[in-house]
Structures are given as C-alpha cells and as structure tokens.
Chain A
C-alpha cells in the first residue's frame, strides 16, 4: 500500500498535526507577558489542543517572544535546529522584525529572519492574546497547505 505520494503522506501527517499543535516557548522578554494568559486559564490554549512542551524535540511550533540578543539568538538557533520537521516559527512582538524599542541598541538583533526562518510575525508591543490565536489559525492554514509560510525554503 505504498501508492501514496510523498506529498499525500505529508498532507496526512499534517492533518493529524493540526489537531494537536505542540508549542515550545522561547521567551526572554516582555512578549511573554501576553503569552501567559494564552497558556493559562484565562484563554487556555489547551482547549484547542495546544500544549507547551518542555523540549524542542517534541515541538511543532516555536514561539519566539520579544527581542533577541546575540547570545540568546545563538541558543534560539540551536533550539530551532533540534525541532523535527514539519516545524513553524512564530515571532511575537515588534522587536523580532524591526528591533522595536531596541532599534538602536548595540547588542540586539534587528531582523530575526536573518538568523532563523520565520513563518509568521505578530506585530504589537506586546501582541494581544487574540492576535496570538489568530496567528495560530494562520499556522493551521499553513499546515493544511492553504497558505504559504514565510520560510524561504517552502
């Protein structure tokens, strides 16, 4: 029964994935203050099948919250490379895409997509939980193949 093409198999796997997005949070700044109610009981992302996992090796989605210094970007890169495919990266807040309020700081990176591939940016300082759920909806569309991710390889 090996008639299914690679694409079909991927699609099937993706459909299974869509019901249970496992999230790894990489947060070292204020973006996480609005991610907390998403995780906790106020908005409770477990209702939608998403849970926070302790290891990037189990994760499907990587949330990058807030600005990255060179030191943290190094570890972010390592975490990204440990995640199994298919994987999606969502960057929260203004800092990852423009530097945000650290636009002229000497040690924070200004464009996150120069360091790891980013599928989705959520603007806001920090973004509201509703925006995060909207982004998760878009990620699910990406998994289904209805929407293209921002990754250069796709």
Chain B
C-alpha cells in the first residue's frame, strides 16, 4: 500500500487483500475521503454496489475505486440509515461514472443522493412498486399480481406449480 493512502485510511482499520484494500468509513467522513483518494490517483469509480441489512436497519453502499496508475483497488463501505437513506453525491469527484451508478442505486434501493442533477430511472422506466432490491420487497407477490391472472388459459402453468 502506498504510504499516503495508509496514512489516510489508518483511523478506519483497513483490511488488505492482495492489491485491494477494504475500508468501512463513517458517513460524515465519506466526502472528504473520496476527495482525497481521487487526488491520490483513484480516478476510476468502477461501481457502487448496495447491500440491504433490514435487521440492522442500514443500507450498506460499497464504492469500488480503481487506481489505473497503481493498479490497486480501494473498496469503501459506507452505511446509511434504512428509513432515511441519504448521502452526498460523488458526481463532482468522479463525474459521469458516479452519476450513472448513483441513478442505479437510487432506483434499486431508494437511496437519495444529494446534489445529483439527474436521478431519473435508468432501467426501471414506468416502475410503480417499491425499490426492488430491498429485502422487504415481496417480488413473488408483486409478479403474481402484476403479470398473472388465474382465469387466463396461458397462465395456467404458473398456478399449477
């Protein structure tokens, strides 16, 4: 690990695995760490993945950062409360890649990104249900109600099983 990164991430107990570093950061520190990592050469935000933890009442977002010069990864975990999922946008740091990934997380998990100029649906146009990647979304009931009808001939196979 490069010394500057280790100095930056030391307070958050990073875990090293090969050329990747996993860190859990507090929500209020997140924008500062993003900015500093960007300046240290982590210029590619590969993905933002989300994990829903209903028991703990949080949604965990994992920012996968890649330094193309160092050929090393930093995976930043940040948790937002489930009932009011809101965090600052990273658009001004990573540009379009952050904007698109935030749009996806917004529609799939219902997380709101402040200062993201465009949070319109990316895949789920005309979606009416709750955010589908949340674990309390009953997709079986949703599909049964939205797509299938018991009286219809071609849907008979669905009700048999």
Contacts and interface: CB of A to CB of B under 8 A. Distances in A.
Contacts of B139: 104, 106
A144 B127 CA distance: 42
B123 A107 contact: yes
B124 A107 contact: yes
A106 B142 contact: yes
Interface in A57-97: 69-71, 74, 97
Contacts of A107: 123-124, 127, 132
A107 to B, nearest CB: 6
Contacts of B146: 106
Interface size class of A (residues with CB under 8 A): 10 to 19
Given A98-B157, A103-B158, A110 B147 contact: yes
Interface residues of B, number: 17
B129 A70 contact: no
Given A69-B123, A107-B132, 15 more contacts: A70-B124, A70-B126, A70-B127, A97-B154, A98-B154, A103-B158, A104-B139, A104-B143, A106-B139, A106-B142, A106-B146, A107-B123, A109-B147, A110-B148, A111-B154
Interface of B: 123-127, 129, 132, 139-140, 142-143, 146-148, 154, 157-158
Interface of A: 69-71, 74, 97-99, 103-107, 109-111
Nearest to B146: A106
B128 to A, nearest CB: 10
Contacts of A71: 123-125
A105 B125 contact: no
Nearest to B157: A98
